[in-house]
């Protein structure tokens, strides 16, 4: 649940937030010792904050006093925790009613603040669901992501869009539910191709009554909630009855529905006969990295799996990583009744209590020791082991490329954050700047940014001016959010710590799509902001815009080319192509939006209903803009006052 909802505890509990400040000059231990004197023996959440106001760590405790007291000395801690203690400049506390409530609040804060010393769940993509709508006379079955605003029943989560598509395909074949939009449904005058191939019952043209169609929708929802066994028996009985009554066509329909339902059950990657509704978490650690495979089982079916690679310190045991991961994982996802783990976690009982409080139903967490369930978890562990092996191989290759990149451009260290910039426009129209980010783990898509060019002084098609605006806006925001220019201690302090959470928002290398002019524009924008410690390289296309003949331009004026077969050159081309793809996509989205914009949308008081009435009356927005007040007021829903307002809008 969101932090905003949890930040205020109900009236029957006491909430307390305390702040203690201190000097950052190695006084972390003394500071914490002083704070402990005033802390209560109550459950709650604490935050450790450094001198730059960055949150270092968020933790929960059954007793705040006892937990924080353990940080009042450096002995007995790992180097990682000792560095965290020494960097602490102040702390903040929130007391809660129970430890379970503290666990939920801790998960919210970690996800929101992303402290560098916590285990962080990297989850930048929402899960897809199946939605059976209830806001139309003929329920529609669709794939859904995002906020659940539309009325209907949601089933999931599914691990991938592919799993959703396969299940929707089954629903169409077994239950003949429509997947068309409401507008298409309204416009049909005869059945579509899906009806002809027996994938839809065509309620749009009355081939099936709405009552019978609702019966099909109810059966589909029973199937999605795990009642497929009872349904198969019912369909088998109906098929036999139809066959005995010599209604062979009806019997064939029942047979086809049974075959479609059996198709889903026969294509499961894992035996699901003993599992109804459950999630399986299997963790494997190797080479200082951890992979957690999550399998989703709903309605006795395997709805797919997804691999996660949480950011965590190498010294943490796999049980602690899994413990922290689960608490964050269910921050915004439905919670099943059963959760099976590959390892026993320290907070198992507390997790059960917290998840029950959040879901409103009983949650059972277990580590299977024998039988089929143990075999299922073992297979999930094997998936985690294989996924981590692939990632380690990719990481080793990525590190070799970064090392080669550092050698080519004489960088002092391996670049941890590379930002690539590109612009896209059509003769100056719909101009968009784009920034993509890459690092040791590949592309960091959650860090991508697009910039709508706003400076009216820039001439249409002025690539240099657009690049100057993009760089100025990007680094001005960076300075505002993280204070001052690039900190001198960035390389010496954060890099030596080797903490996985020490990724700085400041880039090590800027790759600019363009030549000397773009590089000069970039350097001018950086100079205006007082930034002089960023490595900048321009990547200009070859004489005939051929890949492999790129020229690389440095701010010093030096330019050079790489050998056509150089792996580093391929790597740079991949970075540039990704920036180009993102810039083109942003530009097309902006252009498409403009194409669908209507001048009537700009008039306050003209909503969708009145706009529709105006368009139906006049035929187009252009015709409405030429109409007089009397003609406008003749439209249903348009008062004389609003008609005058519309007229004034087009005749200022």
pLDDT tens, residue by residue, 551-586: 899 998 888 888 877 888 888 988 998 999 998 888
The residue that leads in pLDDT, 78 or 535, is 535
Tell me how far apart the alpha carbons of residues 518 and 533 are, in angstroms, rounded to a whole number.
Answer: 18
The residue that leads in pLDDT, 6 or 90, is 90
Q: Are residues 450 and 322 in the same domain?
A: no
79 lies in some domain? yes
Q: Are residues 477 and 557 in the same domain?
A: yes
Mean pLDDT of all residues in 438-444: 86
Task: Specify the DSSP element, H or E, that contains 562.
Answer: none
576: tokens are 């540039």
Residues 6+ apart with CB under 8 A from 355: 330, 335, 339, 363, 365
574 lies in some domain? yes
37 lies in some domain? yes
pLDDT of 80 above 90 = no
First and final CA of the chain: distance in angstroms?
49
Q: Are residues 553 and 424 in the same domain?
A: yes
Q: Are residues 535 and 590 in the same domain?
A: yes
Mean pLDDT of all residues in 606-627: 80
Q: Are residues 644 and 583 in the same domain?
A: no
Summarised one tens digit per residue, pLDDT across range 466-501 is 899 999 999 999 888 776 555 553 443 444 333 434
14 lies in some domain? yes
- In the chain, the number of structural domains is 5
Q: What percent of the chain has pLDDT over 90?
A: 12
Closest CA to 451 of 272, 586, 361: 586
Q: Are residues 604 and 528 in the same domain?
A: no
Q: Are residues 100 and 192 in the same domain?
A: no
Residue 274 is predicted with a pLDDT of 59
Mean pLDDT of all residues in 110-116: 84
Q: Are residues 319 and 175 in the same domain?
A: no
Mean pLDDT of all residues in 240-254: 77
Q: Are residues 60 and 157 in the same domain?
A: no
- DSSP letter at 203 equals G
What pTM did the predictor assign? 0.62
Task: Specify the DSSP element, H or E, that contains 434.
Answer: strand 429-439
Domain closes at, from 354, 389, 424:
389
Beta bridge partners of 341: 281
The residue that leads in pLDDT, 474 or 187, is 474
448 lies in some domain? yes
Q: How confident is the model at residue 106 (pLDDT cuts 50, 70, 90)?
A: confident
Grouping H, G, I as helix, E, B as strand and the rest as coil, residue 326 is: helix
Lowest mean pLDDT among 99-108, 155-164, 456-465, 483-492: 483-492
Q: Are residues 307 and 442 in the same domain?
A: no
Burial of residue 555 (CB within 10 Å: 0-12, 13-18, 19+) is middle
Domain closes at, from 52, 84, 113:
113
Lowest mean pLDDT among 32-46, 204-218, 280-294, 302-316: 302-316
Torsion of CA 71, 72, 74, 75, to 10 degrees: -90
Longest dimension (CA), the chain: 91
Residue 226 is predicted with a pLDDT of 62
pLDDT of 163 above 60 = yes
Residue 436 is predicted with a pLDDT of 92
Domain closes at, from 266, 291, 316:
266
Q: How confident is the model at residue 523 (pLDDT cuts 50, 70, 90)?
A: very high
Residue 343 is predicted with a pLDDT of 92
227 lies in some domain? yes
Handedness of CA 378, 383, 389, 395 (dihedral sign): negative
146: tokens are 């995002």
pLDDT of 19 above 50 = no
What CATH number does the domain containing 643 carry?
A: 1.10.150.20
**Residue 620 belongs to what domain range?**
599-650
* Exposure class string for 322-355: b at 16+ Cβ within 10 A, else e: bbbbbbbbbbeeebbebbbbbbebebbebbbbbb
Residue 604 is predicted with a pLDDT of 80
105 lies in some domain? yes
Q: How confident is the model at residue 333 (pLDDT cuts 50, 70, 90)?
A: confident
Residue 524 is predicted with a pLDDT of 92
Residue 299 is predicted with a pLDDT of 67
pLDDT of 419 above 90 = yes
Q: Are residues 197 and 230 in the same domain?
A: yes
pLDDT of 198 above 50 = yes
pLDDT of 362 above 50 = yes
Residue 537 is predicted with a pLDDT of 92
Averaged confidence pLDDT in the chain = 80
Residue 486 is predicted with a pLDDT of 57
Summarised one tens digit per residue, pLDDT across range 263-316 is 544 444 444 555 678 889 999 988 788 899 998 887 667 777 888 888 888 888
Residue 272 is predicted with a pLDDT of 52
Q: How many CA atoms lie within 13 A of 84 on its CB side?
A: 26
121 lies in some domain? no
* Exposure class string for 502-525: b at 16+ Cβ within 10 A, else e: bbeebbbbbbbbbbbebbbbbbeb
Mean pLDDT of all residues in 387-397: 82
Q: How confident is the model at residue 1 (pLDDT cuts 50, 70, 90)?
A: very low
74: tokens are 């450096």
Q: Are residues 52 and 181 in the same domain?
A: no
Tell me how far apart the alpha carbons of residues 33 and 11 are, in angstroms, rounded to a whole number.
Answer: 31
């Amino acid at each position: 649940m969101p932090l905003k909802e949890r930040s205020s505890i109900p009236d029957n509990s006491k909430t307390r937030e305390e702040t203690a400040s201190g000097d950052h000059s190695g006084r972390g231990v003394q500071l914490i010792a002083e704070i402990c004197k005033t802390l209560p023996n109550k459950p709650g959440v604490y935050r450790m904050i450094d001198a730059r106001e960055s949150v270092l760590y968020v933790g929960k405790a059954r007793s705040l006093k006892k937990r924080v007291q353990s940080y009042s000395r450096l002995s007995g801690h790992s180097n990682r925790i000792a560095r965290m203690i020494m960097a602490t400049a102040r702390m903040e506390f929130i007391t809660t009613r129970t430890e379970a409530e503290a666990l939920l609040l801790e998960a919210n804060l970690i996800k929101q603040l992303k402290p560098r010393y916590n285990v962080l769940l990297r989850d930048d993509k929402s899960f897809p669901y199946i939605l059976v709508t209830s806001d139309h006379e003929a329920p529609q079955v669709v794939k859904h992501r995002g906020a659940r605003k539309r009325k209907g029943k949601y089933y999931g989560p599914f691990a991938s869009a592919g799993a959703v598509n396969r299940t929707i395909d089954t629903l169409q074949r077994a239950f003949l539910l429509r997947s068309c939009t409401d507008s298409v449904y309204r416009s049909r005058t005869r059945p579509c191709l899906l009806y002809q191939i027996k994938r839809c019952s065509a309620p749009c043209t009355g081939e099936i009554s709405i009552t019978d169609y609702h019966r099909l929708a109810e059966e589909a929802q029973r199937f999605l909630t795990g009642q497929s066994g009872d349904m198969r028996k019912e369909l088998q009985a109906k098929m036999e009855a139809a066959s005995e009554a010599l209604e062979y066509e009806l019997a064939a329909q029942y047979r086809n529905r049974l075959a479609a339902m059996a198709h889903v059950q026969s294509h499961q990657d894992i035996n699901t006969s003993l599992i109804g509704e459950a999630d399986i978490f299997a963790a494997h650690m190797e080479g200082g990295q951890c992979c957690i495979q999550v399998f989703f089982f709903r309605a006795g079916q395997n709805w797919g799996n997804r691999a996660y690679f949480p950011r965590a310190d190498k010294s943490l045991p796999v049980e602690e990583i899994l413990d922290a991961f689960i608490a964050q994982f269910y921050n915004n996802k439905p919670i099943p009744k059963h959760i099976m783990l590959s390892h026993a976690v320290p907070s198992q009982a507390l997790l059960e209590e917290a998840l029950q409080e959040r879901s409103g139903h009983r949650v059972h967490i277990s580590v299977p020791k024998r039988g089929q369930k143990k075999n299922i978890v073992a297979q999930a562990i094997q998936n985690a082991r294989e996924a981590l092996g692939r990632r380690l191989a990719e990481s080793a290759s990525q590190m070799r490329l970064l090392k080669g990149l550092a050698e080519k451009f004489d960088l002092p260290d391996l670049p941890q954050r590379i930002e690539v910039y590109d612009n896209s426009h059509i003769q100056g129209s719909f101009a968009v700047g784009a920034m993509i980010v890459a690092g040791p783990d590949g592309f960091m898509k959650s860090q991508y940014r697009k910039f709508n060019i706003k400076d009216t002084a820039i001439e249409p098609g002025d690539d240099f001016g657009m690049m100057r605006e993009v760089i100025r806006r990007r680094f001005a925001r960076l300075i505002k959010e993280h204070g001052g220019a690039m900190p001198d201690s960035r390389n010496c302090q954060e890099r030596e710590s080797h903490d996985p959470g020490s990724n700085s928002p400041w880039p090590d290398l800027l790759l600019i799509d363009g030549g000397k002019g773009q590089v000069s524009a970039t350097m001018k924008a950086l100079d205006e902001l007082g930034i002089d410690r960023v490595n900048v390289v321009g990547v200009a296309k070859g004489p005939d815009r051929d890949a492999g003949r790129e020229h690389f331009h440095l701010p010093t004026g030096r330019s050079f080319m790489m050998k056509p077969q150089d792996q580093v050159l391929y790597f740079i081309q991949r970075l540039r192509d990704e920036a180009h793809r993102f810039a083109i996509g942003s530009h097309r989205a902006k252009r498409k939006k403009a194409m669908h914009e209507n001048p009537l949308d700009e008039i306050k008081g003209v909503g969708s209903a009145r706009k529709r009435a105006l368009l139906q009356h006049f035929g187009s927005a252009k015709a409405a803009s030429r109409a007089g007040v009397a003609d406008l007021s003749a439209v249903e829903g348009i008062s004389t006052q609003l008609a005058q307002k519309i007229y004034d809008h087009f005749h200022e």
